[in-house]
Amino acid sequence: MTTRRNFLVLAGAGLTLTACRSRPSSAAFSLQDVLLVETDRGLVRASSSGQQVIGHAATLSHDGRFLYSARSDGLDQIDPVSGAVIRSDSYGGGWQPRAISADGRSCALTPDGVIDTVPPGREWSPILIASPGGPRKFRLPGVIEPDAFTTDASGLFVLEWLPATAPDHYRVRLLDLRSGELHPLNTRDKTAVPPGAEEEMRGEGRQAVLSADGTMLFTLYTHQPGHAHTRDLLSGRPGNAHAFVHVLHLTDRWAYCLDLPHPFGASPPAAHAIAADARHIAVADLGSGKLAYADPSTLTITRVVDAPTAANAFSTQPAASAFLKLTATHAFVGGGDTVTALDRSTDATTASHPLPGPLRGLALTPDGLRLHAATADQVHCLKTPSGTPTGTTPIPKIQALHAAH
């Protein structure tokens, strides 16, 4: 996906809309859960009955509950747990699913084709909204990319890339799906952002996660030289944020940037990870060995504690990446070839589990009782919070682990 959610979606560079979904293979596994894994074959749904290839032209919602996949003549909504097609729409070919509403009933699509990290310049951007009420097509001026729906699905947050002829930065705007008009976002006090004070960002967000109640989207940014927050632009203060969490309120339609203290942002972007639950927004920096906790209601940093370091992994392994998951009692930090459990009440390390290769992703089951850790060719199931291994599942050429059900 070409937005700042690049690490959390299934659409990648050069994807086509070829529908390559298949029935589960006959290979049997000891899986207790259903896993959604990105591989060289595209998205794969793995379960105790085998592997079902969904394919490249698929998009998963931020919470992993909803899944859409394009086919040659339309779009399918697929139940991630059962793998069954639960809704099919025919819009003709050439559309790629990009964003899914909170209730799973609406999906934003854009034309297929080569998708780059920074989209190419263009004069117009077509967007298709698929919903039970029927499709709606928009033709918007400039370079517009879908990002996330408002909670009531009446609006779509989009990234407007600037300048349209040669994009190199973007701002977040709101597309009113009733009127078709683009609007700036509100400030945190729910007032409109004045002209000239909209935040403009370069590059991509590291990772994005939903708040526990689904009303906010937290996106981690690192290395944003010269970035000025809206509050800095309004006050006239110079801006040079090094690392921050961009908070997008999907209900009240405002945006806010939560600055992270030094040394966050000094390490490579891949050394950082974000997670959230009802109690905390948590950000890990495995380059410096720090873990920051923030209050999601006040959007303030509450404490910064020591965490495992994996600096060597990020300097020697180009594909190395950090991962972070939260249960009610523990924070699980993954980097290099190790997963570490930290007690959230004492911040002490309670378990450390080595893996047979670099970590490709972490996924918690909804009840928090099992943590799945992916390496290049298998997924390891660990019991929480002890980290005791309970089994492995072979899946070839894993690129990312997205969800466990």
Q: Parallel, antiparallel, or unpaired for β 182-184 and 338-343?
A: unpaired
Full residue range of the structural domain in which residue 235 is found: 202-359
Q: What is the pLDDT of residue 243?
A: 86
The count of structural domains within the chain is 1
Other CB atoms within 10 Å distance of the CB of residue 21:
19
**Residue 123 covered by a domain:** no
Task: State mean pLDDT over 123-139.
Answer: 94
**Residue 241 covered by a domain:** yes
**Residue 85 covered by a domain:** no
Q: What is the pLDDT of residue 141?
A: 96
5-19, 65-79, 350-364: range with lowest mean pLDDT: 5-19
101-105, 203-207, 330-334, 357-361: range with lowest mean pLDDT: 203-207
Tell me which residue has tokens 């009692």: 329
Q: Whole-model pTM?
A: 0.86
Question: pLDDT band at residue 35, thresholds of 50, 70 and 90?
Answer: very high
At 230, which helix (H) or strand (E)?
helix 230-235
**Residue 249 covered by a domain:** yes
Which sign, positive or negative, has the C-alpha torsion 84, 88, 94, 95? negative
Question: pLDDT band at residue 9, thresholds of 50, 70 and 90?
Answer: very low
- Tokens describing residue 233: 């632009």
Question: pLDDT band at residue 195, thresholds of 50, 70 and 90?
Answer: low
Which sign, positive or negative, has the C-alpha torsion 352, 356, 359, 360? negative
**Residue 285 covered by a domain:** yes
Question: pLDDT band at residue 197, thresholds of 50, 70 and 90?
Answer: low
| 24 vs 345, more confident | 345
**Residue 206 covered by a domain:** yes
- Contact in structure between 173 and 180 (CB atoms under 8 Å): no
- Tokens describing residue 370: 């099992």
Map residue 62 onto helix, strand or coil: coil
**Residue 374 covered by a domain:** no
CATH code of the domain covering residue 223? 2.130.10.10
Q: What is the pLDDT of residue 10?
A: 35
Q: What is the pLDDT of residue 112?
A: 67
Q: What is the pLDDT of residue 1?
A: 34
**Residue 166 covered by a domain:** no
